[in-house]
Structures are given as structure tokens and as C-alpha cells.
Structure 1
């Protein structure tokens, strides 16, 4: 290193005898005058006067030399430290699923796989919004947890009518309310029972109107408004038991048999609820109407909390229950009580999670509509947060079907044959409509890593797309952290 200190000699050189030194000694008076004039001339008014020491006669005069100030050297910054530790290169991921991607059963394939920390490992057209099928229920659940909270319950009430002897059964959007007698469990375990509501009503009525019989029932389903059936929902879904008309007043999601999940649904859910309730009041006549403003409440019962309802609609893919929850989200936000209000309500409710919702197109809460559109990359970004249990999203994670163990992923046509190796390791929401088959969720891979994934098969597809999707998901499971993007 070179700096000012190291370039100077260690000691100044000694003066030689004779020469200018002896001349100065002999003519000291003249020298002093000359030096003073020169110094004054050079330094001007700002010069520092130098005092000369008095010297004995004949002795050489002591001279105080004048030094120019040494410029302050510009500091040289210390060299940047260089690590001596060799940095390891990122490992090359070599496990390819490329041979599976041309499977014609996919129709149009879209997919994305992330590590649990959000790093992209694999993707194919992941940012294009497409039909979601029932995977949309994950968005409905996440939206509801934010807006309604895990403890939310829907209630059914009975109030006094405007006319003597009249009571009003007011639906509060609880499709799980069951007409089975107390002690018998319907599809929705833990649901409120209609006979309990009737018993409470009779007790309250007798206390307020002693001696007056109940002679008429009004059915108020005005809490939900608008159409009861989505524009692109196939009517056959009622006959196969997958979906009911969405009304604020109904029992057992309008199933013919409250104990069978895929029991056929009817065309008049409000009427079915009225008939079931009227039997506790000697089958008095009932009709649709609305409760008087400010009517006194006689009795009420409530649904299970939202944290229970979410797995009840995610695991078996219950369309009616998902639509019920979505409608409550819209009402809570104040954007309306119709299915059309969901287009604004669901994206707005999801903003809290910090993922761009501008590309979402929401037409219902269940995913049954062909008009829903969400990109696979939106699902994976949301599932990173679900896996991390951000906020209350752990309820969604725990409420997902598991391959080979529960819900729609435990059907005989899912994860069978060579794909059975992934059973118990894929926790995800499936979706299937005539034009879209999807699977979105979390994989606990064979190497111990966690993968977040979304697979869409859309367009000209059929039921066999499920097997193609399961095969690709199983390949992700086998590759784990070694999954390449080839």
C-alpha cells in the first residue's frame, strides 16, 4: 500500500558545513532584513510575524524556519472485504414432467407449481384467467373468512305477524336448517332443527298471546333477492342432487332425503320448508310474504359457525352451501343480496390478502358457472397464504379434501393405479363442469418438500381429464423439490 507516511524518509538529512549556512552566519543582519521583507511581500497582511531570539555577540543567530502547511491527503477508502467462502451454485433441477404435457385429455392445459415460499418451479400459461369449476369455492371460503369471520352463523327466526293468530317464518339464509327431528343428524352434522324452532315458538307465543291459537304462517324469504338459479347452471344439477334453488328460506338445502348428500332437489324450496314447519302447528295454511317492520321476535335458531360450514362445503363440494355463504358475504359488504352482487363482493373481499384481484371474474360462489374466470397463478398465490395459515386461512387448509382419504378426492376415479402413491399427500380442491376440470392445492412431496400447485384442463374435455390431472399431480409429488420447468 502507498500512502504519504510511507513515501517520506525516516529522518531529515543533516546540513553540510559551509555554503549558504556560513554565508547566513556572517551576514545575519542583512539576511534578517531581507527575509522579513520577503516574508511580508509573500504573505501580505496575513503573514505571521516571526520573533528572532536575542543572541550573544559573536554567536550565530538561531533561525526559525518557515514551513508551508502540508496538504491533508485525500483518504483512501479501505478495500472492500472479499469473502473467502465459496458460494454454492443453485442446484439444477432435473426432474421433468414434460412427457405428460401433451396428453390430449387435458384439452387446453394450464398449470403452475410453487415452492412453499412462493418461488416458481413450473408453469404453463399460468397467468391466463380461465374457467375454474368448483375450485372457485376456495375463493368463496377465503372471502367469507375475511368479511364474516370464523364465528359467523346464519339464523332463522319466527316473529309475530300483522294479523291475529299469524306467525312469520323468516329465513336468514341458513340452508342447513333441517326438518329431521332433534336427535337425528342430516347431511349437515350439527345443523339447527326445525322442531326446536317450532317448540320455542309455541312457548313464546303462549307467553305473549295466551289463549290465541296460531292459525296462519307467512314464509319470508326476502333476505336473498334476485334469481334463484344461475344463468349457466344446468337444470339437471337439481335432479342429480348437486344444487338447489338458492333461497333464504329452505330446509336441508331442499334435499328429498336430508340424510343423503346427492339426494334430488325440488323446484319449490320455500314451499317445502313451509310444509315442514306447518306440521308442528296442526298443518295450518301457509303462504309467502314478508314480516312486518319491527315485528317482535318469538324464537330463533342458528347454523353452525362458518369455520364448520367451510369444510362442509369444500370437502364434498357442496354447491348450495357455497352459494349460501357467498350471498352472506355480499350482504355483509352492502353490495346487494343477489347472485349478481357476487361479481363485486368476492374480489373486494379478497383484497385483504394482497394478491391482485383485477383479473378475477366471478359469476357465482360455487364455480358452477362457465362465466367464472381465475388464473392458475392466482390460486397458487392464495394457497401459499393458505398453507402458511395467514389470518384465518388455516380453516381452508384443514377443510380441503385429501387424496384417497376424504371428499371428492376419495372417489374411486381419483388417484387410482400408479397414481395411488400420492394418496394422503395431496390436499386440494377439485372442480368439474362440462368445459373445465381443475385441481388446486398443496402437495407434501415424496422428498419432504411442500409444493403449491394448480392444474386446469379446459375446453374440449371430458371426465377422463380427472385422471390426466391426477397423473400430473402425482408426477409433481414424485419430483418434489427437484421439479424442473421442462
Structure 2
């Protein structure tokens, strides 16, 4: 190939040039094809889409009040809540200033048992005032030689001689009333003997026994017939709290009064209008009566006070009048009373219905001594120290640690056991609480309630709602 190239140099140059030109030409054609513009089809002119106007959202309101994080509370009582002794459990716990710590179905109105007495006391302090006293009078009768013993709704009046104290310390004495009446009679009607006594119990009206009150409560000494005239709340023994009650409290009072006048006739009736008063005696003030019915849970005395509330409000003088009178009297405290159902003043009726949350709201005010409510606060039983919370079946064993630290009103009827009030907790905080155990319950519910209360005491302000 080299020899050929030497012999024919010119021919090879021509051939190479031709080849190079062919290659270069092909590349140019290809390059031109690659860069030439493609044909574009004609399209109609589109209407331009308007550009949306950009808006700035209004600024979010920011509170000027400094927000404080809620504390993380870690003390749980959940392990106690499934105790079958509770039946149906309802409960609520608040701080002293009303902040919620714990609750289980607190808004359902349920049977109260004797926790109802807290409402009765609060109603009475508003309507009657702490200085209210119930008065028993003797007036001249319509016929010569007749006097009328007029009951004014003082069930504490005692037939014990002056100088002897009954269950109701400081009560008025029947012998004092009789002595005053005899002296005034002799002054007004000298030489005219008293030969007849009329007993007037008309200040209270209607039925004397609640529809659902068990009759056995008279035999066990927990409740008397509610009449405006009676002595020692109709106890067989005026010095024994749980002394048997009778079936005729007016007759018992009349017989006790008549003994100071010799052989006179005694009958029931009413005083003539405008009769001249011969003598009177009065009960202790309401400020004394309230602890006398709260601490030992005196049903008769609570019913007496409730009836006076109804009379003072013009609602009537019967037990049925309490349904409207007690809620009306409680409205002053600013707590919604629309769900209250009131059947009596003592809580003995299973027809009462109050929500635990109502009681805790009221106890916030009681603890703060709002109005005259400090009297109620000071008149409550204290665990291990007084009244129904000092019985051997309350706050014993492991629960004894809470003795002296729980100030509350207990309640017990066959279908409801309750406890509501205040706890001075172990950490120094004050708790407001209510516990209801209703439905299929028995006396052992008291211990379950005390155990839960003691757990609240131990947790204090660290009580968790979980």
C-alpha cells in the first residue's frame, strides 16, 4: 500500500479530498435538519386568567391575661372506685376556691340521705337568720277558766324540771312556762281557777309523717311525728338522744303541762283570735339549733327548722310546702336550684334528689363563711371527734389517719349513703368534696366512703382525675 501511494500520490490525494467532502457535506445536512424550526399550527387567542388578589388574614386575637399551666397531678384513687359497696358511685372534689380536681357523675341529682340537712341549714340561715327563735305561748281561752297552750313549732321544749338539761342543752322548760302563766292568770283573773286547757298545734299543718319515712324510725328513736306542739321531740326519755318516740306528741305535751294545774280537763283545739297572751318561752337561737341537728343528725329538729322556713316565705306550713320553699330560700347563694327535688328537711325521704356538684358548690361558700354560712361550717361533725363521724364504725383502721381532718355531714338511709363537706388534707390544702353511694347499698358503704375520703386526704392538691 505504501509503494502504491508513492507511485500514485496525486490520485490518492484527489480520492481523499472527495471522501472528506462527502463526509462533511453529510454532517452539514444533518446539522441543518437538527436546527431547522418545526412548523407550528395556528391557535386561537386564549382569554388570560385573572390573577387572584392576595389577601392578608386578620390577626388572631391574643389574650392579654398571662396563662398559667395547669399542674400535673399524679395521685390517683382509681383503684378504689370499683368497690361494689358503693352501689352507684358519684363524687366530686374541688379545691377551696372551686377548681375541679376529681369527679365521677357529679351532676346527676340523687338521693341525699341526711346530707339534705346542709340545705335546710343554709336555707334557714338565709330566711330566718341566726337569731331566730321558736316560741311557745299560753293565752286566755274563750270560756272562763280556760287557757290555751299554743305550740309555736319548738320541738326542743322540755318537760324536765328547770335545772335539768335534756338532749337539747339550753332548751326552754315547760315548768317555767306554766309558772309564768299561772302567775299572770292570777294577776288578771283573781279568784278564778283554771279548769280547762286547750292544746293548739295548728301552727304546723298537713300530715305529720312523711310518705316514705319508715315507721320503724319512731321505735329506734330517730324521728318523731312533726307537730307544732310537743316536748323533747316526743322522746320517752328527754335525756337520751335515741329514745323511742310515740304516736301522739301533742297529747304527751298536754299531759306534761296539765300536771302543773291539778285536775283540769285537757282537749285539743285552737286559740281564739286575738287572745290575750299570758306567758311565753322561746327556743335557743337558730345559731344553736343548727349544730344541734347537724352534729348528731337530728331528723325531728331539721324538720322543725325546715317548716319554719316555709312559713316565713309564705309557702305554707306543711311538709309539702318544702318543695318550693327550700329551693327559693337557697337561690340567694347563686347556685342553680332548678334540679333540686325536695321532699323533706331531714333527708329521711328517698324522694329527695340533689346533685353532688350542688353540694360541693354550696360547700365552697360554706368554707368561705359567706353570709351566715360560717355557723353551718362550725356546726358540722368532725371525723373521730364529734357526732355521727365519731361512731366506732367511722374512720377506723387505716382510715383513722383522717380523723380530725374531715368536717362533713354524713347521711344514711336504706338506699343511700353520703358524705359531703371539707377535708384539711395532708399536704396542707383544703378540699371540698361530696361522695354518694346509692342503689343496691348497705351499711358497709360507710366504710367504702370513708376509705375514699381518706384517699382524698392523702392526695390533697395532687389528686388526679384519672
Fold similarity call, TM over 0.5? yes
Q: Distance in 2 between matches of 1:137 and 1:286?
A: 35
CA shift digits 1:74-96 (9 cap, x unpaired): xxxxxx9999xx98733200000
Q: Distance in 2 between matches of 1:306 and 1:344?
A: 21
Secondary structure, aligned partner of 1:451? strand
Long gaps (5+) in structure 2: 1-60
- Work out the number of aligned pairs and report it: 405
Residue 9 of structure 2: aligned partner: none
Residue 408 of structure 2: aligned partner: 428
Contact 1:275/1:283 (<8 A) preserved: no
Residue 159 of structure 2: aligned partner: 179
CA shift digits 1:457-476 (9 cap, x unpaired): 00000000000000000000
Residue 258 of structure 2: aligned partner: 278
1:288 and 2:268 correspond: yes
Q: Distance in 2 between matches of 1:381 and 1:358?
A: 14
Greater C-alpha Rg? 2
Give the TM-score, by structure 1 length. 0.82
1:269 and 2:258 correspond: no
Q: 1:332 Cα deviation (Å)?
A: 0.3
Q: Distance in 2 between matches of 1:233 and 1:217?
A: 32
Q: Distance in 2 between matches of 1:440 and 1:391?
A: 20
Q: Distance in 2 between matches of 1:167 and 1:459?
A: 51
1:102 to 57, 78, 82: 82
Q: Distance in 1 between matches of 2:139 and 2:69?
A: 71
Residue 405 of structure 1: aligned partner: 385
Secondary structure, aligned partner of 1:153? coil
Secondary structure, aligned partner of 1:211? coil
Residue 255 of structure 1: aligned partner: 235
Q: 1:196 Cα deviation (Å)?
A: 0.2
1:306 to 286, 291, 306: 286
1:319 and 2:299 correspond: yes
Secondary structure, aligned partner of 2:293? helix
Secondary structure, aligned partner of 2:447? helix
Secondary structure, aligned partner of 1:223? coil
CA shift digits 1:325-345 (9 cap, x unpaired): 000000000010000000000
Long gaps (5+) in structure 1: 1-79
Q: 1:284 Cα deviation (Å)?
A: 1.3
CA shift digits 1:133-178 (9 cap, x unpaired): 0000000000000000000000000000000000000000000000
CA shift digits 1:244-284 (9 cap, x unpaired): 00000000000000000000000000000000000000141
1:149 and 2:129 correspond: yes
4+ long deviations beyond 4 Å: 80-83
Secondary structure, aligned partner of 1:421? helix
1:461 to 441, 445, 448: 441
1:237 and 2:249 correspond: no
Change (3 A) 1:81 1:278: closer
Q: 1:285 Cα deviation (Å)?
A: 1.4
Secondary structure, aligned partner of 1:207? helix
Residue 225 of structure 1: aligned partner: 205
Secondary structure, aligned partner of 2:305? helix
> What pairs up with 1:24-423 in 2 under 5 angstroms?
89-423=69-403
Secondary structure, aligned partner of 1:253? helix
